[in-house]
Amino acid sequence: MEHNSNFKFKTEYFRNTPRLVELHDSSWISFDQFLEMESFTIALYRSIFKIPHFKLLIEKWNSGWTPKWRVIMVESSEEVNIDECVNELVVLGRFSEVQVERSEVKDEYSDGEVSQRIIYKIHRSDKAVGQIVVENSFMFSLYVMIDSEKNSRFYPPLFLS
């Protein structure tokens, strides 16, 4: 089903807040609307988000902002060089009072396909951790771990490695 240009998404359209929102064509979701979404996990494919959006998201996280969601996966409309994004924010002095860790994972599958993930963990002074994963340069994910939620049954298990 195609959406038309008159359609405007509002988070209040959801009667209840779903735990998961997965949109295979999210080109109609603005960045500001995305920031206000309240579902635990959000997956946006074919998004209109670009590198400046991801930089802003990282900056917001670093400055102490905590989203209502805990896991996002966003297919970018352009290649995301996460190292360049993070390095630019470091040069601009945007990473004060945080600890940043970088790692890289490469998986080779039996069908010959290769998946490469660059991972950044940003540890804030309030013990919150944001784990950024960029897979194959186009899929941007952010996992949010809040220390006070550690014993929650919905705590993202992907961290703690």
Phi, psi of 61 (to 5 degrees): -60, -50
- Give the pLDDT confidence of 108-131 residue by residue, as tens digits: 989 989 999 999 999 888 888 889
* Residue 140 to residue 58: CA distance in whole angstroms: 11
CB 130 within 8 A of CB 98: no
- Give the pLDDT confidence of 38-83 residue by residue, as tens digits: 888 899 999 999 999 999 999 998 888 999 888 999 999 899 999 9
Q: What pTM was computed for the model?
A: 0.80
Neighbours of 134 (CB within 10 A): 23
Looking at the DSSP assignment, which residues form a beta bridge with residue 106?
Answer: 116
